[in-house]
């Protein structure tokens, strides 16, 4: 299996909304974003799939070193071998990849976030930076597009957090800020035991409103000159925001089930943005 085959398989097997946006890119950009996405999946999977924190920490340390080696011209893993041919063309920096790993390392040591600014730091590393790198690969031409991409990445991450409340609880993690749990009188043990309530519903509505605001802020930041170039990100925004609305419409059943869009619906939303320029 070639490195290119490996990253393609990694990306398509994930079933992620991101994959559907990649389908409409020209081959060089599609190859670059597929390799970058596969890198993000590899390091994220370390945290989600390795049960021993010590082993997970060692694996992430290996990835830190692998990125250093790759940018020194000696990539060993299929993911970095597939990605490195594109770093110069699309301005992908070593520091960005290291930041993504730093964000995943936070999951090994932190299962609670005191307040929203604290959570924002985590979102910056695992999503905002990813948005910035993706925008460059998609064809960013305006410097101000970076702020759009960063905020859109954070909106995606908040949507993920809302969707995964129940699954994260099974791992002992609560990403919802402690100060906001207190504001709505929701106890940590209620979330860990996946107990729904009117208070939990109100907390979720608050979180969803914040995510919607981030989508609106992100779209307002996108320069008109880059709208066409950033269509893949806008496709993902359409898919993710539709998912957020679906979670709201189902009255936040996230403690007990994972809300998802069908592959056909994701493809339709992506095509509608690509062909018609509409959400």
The total number of structural domains that make up the chain: 2
Q: Are residues 122 and 94 in the same domain?
A: no
Q: Are residues 141 and 254 in the same domain?
A: yes
Q: Are residues 7 and 101 in the same domain?
A: yes
Q: Are residues 54 and 140 in the same domain?
A: no
**The last residue of a domain, from among 108, 138, 169:** 108
**The last residue of a domain, from among 108, 128, 152:** 108
pLDDT per residue as tens, the chain (279 positions): 899 999 998 888 766 777 777 888 899 999 999 999 999 999 999 988 888 889 999 999 999 999 999 999 999 999 999 999 999 999 999 999 999 999 999 999 999 999 999 999 999 999 999 999 999 999 999 999 999 999 999 999 999 999 999 999 999 999 999 999 999 999 999 999 999 999 999 999 999 999 999 999 999 999 999 999 999 999 999 999 999 999 999 999 999 999 999 988 988 998 888 777 666
Q: Are residues 13 and 2 in the same domain?
A: yes
pTM equals: 0.92
Q: Are residues 126 and 247 in the same domain?
A: yes
Nearest in space to 104 (alpha carbons), one of 82, 79, 134, 126: 126
Q: Are residues 16 and 133 in the same domain?
A: no
Q: Are residues 64 and 160 in the same domain?
A: no
Domain coverage including residue 46: 1-108
**The last residue of a domain, from among 69, 87, 108:** 108
Q: Are residues 122 and 76 in the same domain?
A: no
Q: What is the CATH number of the domain that holds 224?
A: 1.10.600.10
Q: Are residues 172 and 257 in the same domain?
A: yes
What is the C-alpha to C-alpha distance for residues 109 and 179, in angstroms, rounded to an integer? 19
Q: Are residues 85 and 181 in the same domain?
A: no
Q: Are residues 95 and 115 in the same domain?
A: no
């Amino acid at each position: 299996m070639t490195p290119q085959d490996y990253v393609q398989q990694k990306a398509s097997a994930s079933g992620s909304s991101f994959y559907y946006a990649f389908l409409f890119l020209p081959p060089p950009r599609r190859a670059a974003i597929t390799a970058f996405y596969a890198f993000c999946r590899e390091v994220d999977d370390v945290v989600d799939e390795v049960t021993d924190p010590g082993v997970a920490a060692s694996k992430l340390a290996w990835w830190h070193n692998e990125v250093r080696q790759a940018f020194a011209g000696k990539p060993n893993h299929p993911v970095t071998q597939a990605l490195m041919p594109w770093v110069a063309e699309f301005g992908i920096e070593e520091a960005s990849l290291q930041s993504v790993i730093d964000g995943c390392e936070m999951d090994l040591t932190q299962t609670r976030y005191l307040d929203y600014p604290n959570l924002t730091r985590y979102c910056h590393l695992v999503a905002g930076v990813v948005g910035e790198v993706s925008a460059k690969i998609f064809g960013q031409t305006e410097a101000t597009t970076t702020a759009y991409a960063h905020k859109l990445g954070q909106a995606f991450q908040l949507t993920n957090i809302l969707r995964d409340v129940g699954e994260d609880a099974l791992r002992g993690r609560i990403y919802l800020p402690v100060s906001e749990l207190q504001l709505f009188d929701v106890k940590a043990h209620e979330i860990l035991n996946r107990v729904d309530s009117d208070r939990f519903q109100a907390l979720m509505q608050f979180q969803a409103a914040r995510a919607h605001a981030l989508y609106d802020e992100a779209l307002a930041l996108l320069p008109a000159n880059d709208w066409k170039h950033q269509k893949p990100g806008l496709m993902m925004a359409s898919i993710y925001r539709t998912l957020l609305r679906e979670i709201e419409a189902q009255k936040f059943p996230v403690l007990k089930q994972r809300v998802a869009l069908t592959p056909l619906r994701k493809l339709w939303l992506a095509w509608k943005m690509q062909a018609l320029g509409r959400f």
